[in-house]
Amino acid sequence: MRQRSLIAITAALAAGALTLTACGSRDEGNGSSDAGSGTTVVIGVDAPLTGDLSAMGLGIKNSADLAAKTANKEKYVDGITFKIEALDDQAQPSSGQQNAVTFVANKDVLGAVGPLNSSVAESMQKVFDDAKLVQVSPANTGPTLTQGAKWETEKVRPYKSYFRTATTDAIQGPFAAQYLYNDAKKKKVFVIDDKKTYGAGLAGTFTKEFEKLGGEVVGTEHIDPETKDFSAVATKVKSSGADVVYYGGEYPQAGPLTKQIKAAGANIPVAGGDGINNPAYMDLGGSASTGDFSTSVGAPVEELPSAKDFVANYEAAGYKEPYAAYGGYSYDSTWAIIEAVKKVVEDNDGKLPDDARAQITAAMQNVSFDGVTGKVSFDEYGDTTNKQLTVYKVEGGEWKAVKSGTYTG
Amino acid sequence: MSGVGPVEPGEGTRAWDTPEASAPEASSVPPPPPGPLAGLYARHRRTVLASTAAVVVLAGGGYLYATRPEPPTPPAQPYPSQVVEVVYLGPGSLSAGAPSGSFGFEMELVVESGPPVTVERMTQPYAGLALTSDPRPPFRTESGHPRKIVITMSVTECGKVPENAGLPFLDVTLRNVRAIQVHSFILGERYARDLSDALQVACSNDSASSPKT
Amino acid sequence: MNELPQQLVNGLLLGSMYGLVAIGYTMVYGIVQLINFAHGEIFMLGGFGAITVYLYVLPDGTSLWMALPLMLVGGIIVAVLAAVGAERLAYRPLRTAPRLAPLITAIGLSLALQQAVWAWYPDAKESINFPQIDGGPFEIGNVTIQTGDIFLLIAAPISMAILAYFVMKTRTGRGMQATAQDPDTAKLMGINTDRIIVIAFALGAAFAAVGAVAYGLKYGQVQFRMGFILGLKAFTAAVLGGIGNIYGAMLGGVALGLAEALSTAYIADIPGMDQFGSQSWANVWAFVLLILVLLVRPQGLLGERVADRA
């Protein structure tokens, strides 16, 4: 009977291993700048630097680094040298929380940029808020992070230390629904999500608006983001008769998904949010991705003169990885922290006060400057006041902007 | 920020770092040997002097022309969608002669900076609704002079209007010296509520000819 | 449209891949009673071996028909070397140790191999694109078969046939059976059991490499984590089919693949089960099947002789 108990133990270990995929290695932050004279202020960056989503995460890290370097070069805040410390969250909430604790424990950290994933942000918010350490996310789009769990009926800001420069899914999902229903004339949608905070939330806001407009949801499906086999789902999509698929999730799954849907014989476009708006989507999806849609926060980069400078500086700085979907927002998030530090330092005769973290968090509420992505300032929930969105379509292996909108509610 | 391909690393090849390749070479060119050339010069002194003078005049003129105080190249003008804001004011009065089943809203269009912006066209995206606006497009708006716009919508087919859209918007075609572009203005929750209220009123008054869904 | 035939094909294809990997678990278990948790990573290394041949050995633009056999050979070589190396360096020293020691070694080895590829293989921090066979999908009735799946459809039965022939007919194969039945007696009969064990590891690794090439062709990418989940599924398939039995591994794989495809497709249609039907629940249903089978047949579908070896 030893064998059988061995199998039982092994099975238990296997189950444990499945749930423990979360933990992992951590990347040492790259020091960004030479330590100048005076005080060094560390800005923590939390993003997935390895794994499937690292294309976006490394763009966040590099862009934050560029902001810090620029501030140091211009001596933007007298006597303060900024330094970036980047930690890897591997897109896992548990790692994100550990990183948040690490940042809080380091007395030099006066602000944090990140994370990429809304689910990771949920695990970090309280840690930062308890320490009154300001956090500015360039990429989280889940509405609950700023407006509370019941944001649809009653908006309550859960954490005073959390800000973001990205527009929320409360606008992004409906905007996609409007575009697909009215402009692309799609009436029957098959909605798929990955059950994560971001994906499920986005699919939810999309579905609601699409139905209100008179569209029909002919099927829903939740995929397991750990697998790469979506053939069963693709077959369901084909037999549902949908004329468009909406996917709430990220490009590592969306790329293979669009490929397998087209391969199954359903020649219909896949649409998604900013999570699939990455060149890697076309690498994974191949030619099957042509004609697919995505929405993303912000206006197309060529329409913003400030963004051109950013692109040029980023190139000149010689980073290995592209700035990706959130580069501009990451630069602005970091710069917002720099502005807040500047305000606090200047109000305190050029020195950091003892309760710098709390004061910086308070100062963040009134920060306002012209950033890469337009005017940067925050409303009473910590959301950005600059709410622009753009619909992109895959043409010739690239995301091409097809329509932009501004929310002025 | 996307829609842009991956950025290649700069590899440290900044334009201003490249040394002037021609400068050292010029200085190292040996002086022309005397002898035959000097004789040549002696024989054609006038021609040489005249052509040298001509070259100098041309070069100087060219230099002056090239570095003339240029009319400052217009700093890249902003795209119209980046400077225009449309704010929803509230339900508006109907313009005279509006058909039954129609309703009006008031908006304010603000050009925040840059050159004037012309509104070429205003539409709303739903089938089953028609839109007219006052002033009628095209109309120009300058920065610093907000313009009030009254739009009138009329229901053409109740079956095709969304009665409860969450984020309805207006598609406005904007033009300035930089570009012409269609931009969506999502006017927020208050507009959504007012629009769906108005649509419900308009369609419930309707006869059975266009049944509501 | 009746999607049942298509879903059966989907499940069959997925299951064949599970089966190819499961063979490695089941053979090693059958002979040394070790659950080789690093086998998922052997599978992954097979995929990386194949892609290395394509990217770095063959000249650019080699036709895939030419490249595929060489990639297969490259993948098999890398996987076999890794498996034999693991056996020699990690498992053989522990052969007389308590059972849990090699098991834990296997888990550690699995993590180490994953991280090694992540850290040292160029660009392995993200998915690496695998070459794709050109040509449209094939329609048979209302069943669509992808070009990339053709390889799997051909390779899986051939592999099984080769394995069956090897185990049943060759001297080494019969030596394997003997070692599995009773290693001590086999040794006394003049069978070099060390060699048999190495062959078992190598064979399992070769089939895993075939599965990895099939994975690359089917999904268009390989990544350092591809072996983890697939390894667990294949292990499940091996247990389902009866661990220790090579036909059971294939049967268990197919049963598991079908369970996943069909539960994704049809559970949601059962009234009141709407919540539990999506693909994210497919794993749950697959394990429900496993538990049900083990309740009725604790030795698995084709398992034998579990009790007499206790």
Q: What is the DSSP string of C230-261?
A: HHHHHHHHHHHH-TT-HHHHHHHHHHHHHHHH
A3 reaches C (C-beta below 8 A): yes
Q: Residues in chain B with pLDDT < 70?
A: 1-37, 66-76, 94-100, 205-213
CB nearest B184 (choices: A314, A323, A403): A403
**pLDDT for the residue B35:** 66
Average pLDDT per run of 10 along chain C, which is 310 residues long? 86 94 93 91 96 91 88 96 95 89 93 91 84 82 85 92 93 91 90 93 96 92 90 94 91 94 87 79 89 90 58
Taking CA atoms, C174 is separated from A86, A277, B25, C167, C169, in Å, by: 57, 56, 82, 6, 7
CA distance B44 to C80: 87
Question: Helices C226-241 & C39-52, crossing angle to 10 degrees?
Answer: 130
CA contacts within 13 A on the Cβ side of C68 = 17
Domain-located, residue B97: yes
> Could B85 and A300 be called an inter-chain contact, meaning their C-beta atoms sit closer than 8 Å?
no
Nearest CA in chain C to A2: C310
Question: Helices C147-169 & C4-32, crossing angle to 10 degrees?
Answer: 30
A10 reaches C (C-beta below 8 A): yes
Domain-located, residue B19: no
C159 to chain A, closest Cα gap in Å? 22
End-to-end CA distance of chain A: 69
**pLDDT for the residue A22:** 36
A221 to chain C, closest Cα gap in Å? 5
Torsion angle defined by CA atoms of residues C101, C103, C104 and C107, in that order, rounded to the nearest 10 degrees: 160
Give the residue numbers spanning the domain of B47: 36-70
Q: Are B126 and A182 in contact (CB under 8 A)?
A: yes
A130 to chain C, closest Cα gap in Å? 34
Residues B44 and B135 in one domain: no
Domain-located, residue B62: yes
Domain-located, residue B26: no
B133 to chain A, closest Cα gap in Å? 19
pTM (2 d.p.)? 0.79
**pLDDT for the residue A36:** 45
> Could A224 and C279 be called an inter-chain contact, meaning their C-beta atoms sit closer than 8 Å?
yes
Average pLDDT per run of 10 along chain A, which is 409 residues long? 56 50 39 56 93 88 95 92 94 92 94 93 94 94 90 89 90 91 92 91 93 91 90 92 95 93 92 91 90 88 80 92 88 95 92 92 92 87 88 93 84
Q: Are A302 and A312 in contact (CB under 8 A)?
A: no
A164 to chain C, closest Cα gap in Å? 27
A53, A221, A224, best to mutate vs chain C, most C CBs in 10 Å: A224
**pLDDT for the residue B95:** 62
The residue to which tokens 């002086």 are assigned: B31
Q: Are A373 and B153 in contact (CB under 8 A)?
A: no
Q: Which structural domains are found in chain A, ordered by start?
A: 39-167+303-378 (3.40.50.2300), 169-297+390-406 (3.40.50.2300)
A284 reaches C (C-beta below 8 A): yes
Residues B116 and B175 in one domain: yes
A135-137: strand order across its sheet: A80-88, A39-47, A109-113, A135-137, A162-164
Which chains does A contact via 3+ CB–CB distances below 8 A? B, C
**pLDDT for the residue A123:** 94
The top-level CATH class assigned to C4-128+143-309 is mainly alpha
A2 reaches C (C-beta below 8 A): yes
DSSP letter at A228?
-
Torsion angle defined by CA atoms of residues A385, A386, A387 and A393, in that order, rounded to the nearest 10 degrees: -160
CB nearest C235 (choices: A4, A14, A280): A14
For C261-266, which contacts have Cβ atoms below 8 Å and span 24 or more sequence positions? Answer: C261/A231, C261/A232, C261/C7, C261/C8, C261/C10, C261/C11, C261/C14, C262/A232, C262/C7, C262/C8, C262/C11, C264/A221, C264/A232, C264/A233, C264/A236, C264/C7, C265/A232, C265/A235, C265/A236, C265/C3, C265/C4, C265/C7, C266/C7
What would the two tokens of residue A126 be? 């309280």
Residues B59 and B134 in one domain: no
Flag whether A touches B (3+ CB pairs, 8 A cutoff).
yes
Q: Are A391 and B68 in contact (CB under 8 A)?
A: no
Residues B65 and B120 in one domain: no
> Could A171 and B165 be called an inter-chain contact, meaning their C-beta atoms sit closer than 8 Å?
no
> Could B78 and A298 be called an inter-chain contact, meaning their C-beta atoms sit closer than 8 Å?
no
Count up the domains in chain B and report the number. Answer: 2
**pLDDT for the residue B193:** 86
Residues B66 and B132 in one domain: no
**pLDDT for the residue A343:** 93
**Which of A207, A111, A400 lies closest to B5, judged by CA?**
A400
**pLDDT for the residue B144:** 84
Residues B142 and B199 in one domain: yes
Contacts of A178 (CB under 8 A, 6+ apart): A209, A213, B125, B165, B167, B168, B169, B184
CA distance A326 to A140: 10
Q: Are C42 and C211 in contact (CB under 8 A)?
A: no
CB nearest A13 (choices: C107, C278, C280): C107
> Could A265 and C144 be called an inter-chain contact, meaning their C-beta atoms sit closer than 8 Å?
yes
A281 reaches B (C-beta below 8 A): no
A9 reaches C (C-beta below 8 A): yes
- Number of H helices and E strands in chain C, helices first, is 11, 4
DSSP alpha helix (H) spans, chain B:
22-28, 36-43, 45-66, 80-83, 189-204
B36 to chain A, closest Cα gap in Å? 52
> Which residues on A lie below 8 Å from B11 (Cβ)?
318
Which chains does B contact via 3+ CB–CB distances below 8 A? A
Domain-located, residue B8: no
CA distance B54 to B47: 10
Residues B58 and B154 in one domain: no
CB nearest A239 (choices: C3, C107, C310): C3
Residues B170 and B95 in one domain: yes
CB-based burial, B73-84: b 16+ in 10 Å, e otherwise: eeeebbbbbbbb
CA contacts within 13 A on the Cβ side of A325 = 30
Residues B44 and B133 in one domain: no
Domain-located, residue B60: yes
> Could C99 and A6 be called an inter-chain contact, meaning their C-beta atoms sit closer than 8 Å?
yes
> Which residues on A lie below 8 Å from B127 (Cβ)?
182
CA distance C159 to C19: 10
Burial of C187 (0-12, 13-18, 19+ CB in 10 A): middle
Residues B64 and B102 in one domain: no
> Which residues on B lie below 8 Å from A296 (Cβ)?
1-3
**pLDDT for the residue A160:** 93
CATH of the domain at B141: 2.60.40.1230
Residues B43 and B107 in one domain: no
**pLDDT for the residue A233:** 93
CB nearest A233 (choices: C1, C144, C264): C264
Last residue of a domain, one of B51, B70, B89: B70
Domain-located, residue B136: yes
Q: Are A137 and A123 in contact (CB under 8 A)?
A: no
C151 to chain A, closest Cα gap in Å? 16
Can you give the C-alpha Rg of chain C in angstroms?
20
Domain-located, residue B114: yes
C18, C25, C111, C144, best to mutate vs chain A, most A CBs in 10 Å: C144
Residues B47 and B99 in one domain: no
> Could C279 and A6 be called an inter-chain contact, meaning their C-beta atoms sit closer than 8 Å?
no
